[in-house]
Amino acid sequence: MAEFHRFSELPRELRDQIWSMAIRDDRPGVHIFGQYDTSKRFAKDSRFLRSGDVVSDTWAEPSCRRYFENLNEGRSDENISTYLIDGGLWTACQESRLIMEKRFEQSKRKCYDVDTGPRYDRSKEVFRKATTGCFAGTPLELMTVFPHRDLFALQSDDLKTVDWSFIGYEASIATSAEGFGGVRHVAIEYNPKWAGEIVHDGCLSDDIWAIKQAAFEAWDGVWKIWFIDTSLKRKKDAPALREDAENYHDISAFYASDRRFVEVDCNNWHDLEKEWEYIKPVEDISDDGFSSSIFFLHDLSRTSTISRFQLMIIIKALIVLLGS
């Protein structure tokens, strides 16, 4: 402990308790990644996601240029991913590593069995199973995720270059033999310009085509594709949000290090008007709708044959909302 030089003199039970308190809360997390440039695969500063021999062609370390705005005006923007809350405990010391192992049980991960072949765990327990990987290169930054419970946000620079058919498998940081079948929740950030592009259906942009393609190609594993809209906010007099996290089908809230990402029910117009508002007026783009994520989502659903899209917004002032 850099700021408490006599930490090692504390009783072992107390040290273990302190390490345990440094681990994330037991609830769905948020993991933010950038899009990997495969042309830099062998570059010195290459920072793609990997776990052993399993490497990703899509997921990579997020760019500081894309960090979400810090809720503390006196601090610079930073990576708010859940994997950073306790990732350093894997390498801090032997004691902290033992506590992490006890919590996430990475030594019990199933591996490929030469005699019986891959093991596919389809039980409910897989929902609470974690995997651990890292970004290639230095410094070594280990991260632990729950493939079926957490939200994996991709900050893409070019959606049309994303391999949607493998995006869920690569993010899980696991082999196909471990039974995860990829991650269940993938998110991308909503771009207001998309609303205008989808209204004129005769000439869809590359991004809109890529989003539609994602709905078809990511089906074998990814349960929902979420859109993160930072321009929406909860009204002050809105009732408390109901959260569900018992299984991956019904998760409605994910927690980053300083805020939560919650679902907006775009099909309930009465509650939408009563409980949500835009930070600034949306631009009127046509006679058919507005450049809002809600109208965009409805237009997207009308032009797609499968309903895989959900809208998310970032709830600020998390401590106030949770009363903690």
Domains in the chain: boundaries: 11-104+129-322
Nearest in space to 180 (alpha carbons), one of 225, 132, 212: 132
Q: Report residue 275's pLDDT band, with 50, 70 and 90 as the boundaries.
A: confident
d(CA 216, CA 204): 17
Distance, CA of 233 to chain centre: 19
What does the pLDDT read at residue 114? 47
Neighbours of 54 (CB within 10 A): 16
Q: 172 phi and psi, to 5 degrees?
A: -70, -15
Closest to 252 in 3D by CA, of 190, 165, 312:
312
Coil, helix or strand at residue 131: strand
pLDDT tens figures, 188-206: 998 888 887 876 556 778 9
pLDDT attached to residue 317: 34
Are the C-beta atoms of 172 and 109 separated by less than 8 Å? no
In three-state secondary structure terms, 232 is strand
Tokens of 95: 């004691």
How far the first Cα of the chain sits from its last, in Å, is 27
Q: What is the mean pLDDT of residues 218-238?
A: 84
Query: Which residues, at least 6 apart from 241, have a Cβ–Cβ distance to it below 8 Å?
Result: 234, 252, 253, 262, 315, 321
Per-residue pLDDT of 231-240, as tens digits, reads 888 888 988 8
Closest residue by Cα to residue 303 from 185, 232, 200: 200
Q: At 322, is the pLDDT very low, low, confident or very high (cuts 50, 70, 90)?
A: very low
Q: How many CB atoms lie within 10 A of CB 99?
A: 24
CA distances from 148 to 30, 155, 185, 200, 323 (A): 12, 20, 7, 36, 28
Q: How far apart are CA 16 and CA 11, in angstroms?
A: 9
Single pTM value for the model: 0.88
Note the pLDDT tens digit of each residue in 280-299: 766 655 444 456 888 888 77
Closest by CA position to 22, among listed 37, 38, 4: 4
Give residue 54's pLDDT: 80
Between β-strands 142-145 and 131-135, what pairing exists: parallel, antiparallel or unpaired?
antiparallel
Q: Report residue 250's pLDDT band, with 50, 70 and 90 as the boundaries.
A: confident
Res 1 pLDDT > 50: no
Query: For residue 319, what pLDDT is reported?
Result: 32
In residues, how long is the chain?
324
Cα 141 to Cα 135: distance, rounded to the nearest angstrom: 6
- Sorted by sequence, the CB contacts under 8 Å of residue 177 that are 6+ apart come out as 110, 111, 112, 113, 118, 119, 120
**Cβ neighbour number for residue 48 with a 10 Å cutoff:** 22
Burial class of residue 180 (count of CB atoms within 10 Å of its CB; 0-12, 13-18, 19+): buried
What is residue 104's predicted lDDT score, i.e. its pLDDT? 95
Q: What is the mean pLDDT of residues 107-130?
A: 66
pLDDT digits (tens, 9 = 90+) for 30-70: 999 999 987 776 666 778 999 887 888 999 999 999 998 88
Q: Average of pLDDT values for 99-113?
A: 82
Tell me 196's DSSP state: H
Res 93: pLDDT = 93
Largest CA distance in the chain: 70
Q: Buried b vs exposed e over 208-236: b needs ≥16 C-beta within 10 Å?
A: bebbbebbebbeebbbbbbbbbebbbbee
In this structure, which amino acid lies at residue 48? F
Mean residue pLDDT of the chain comes to 82
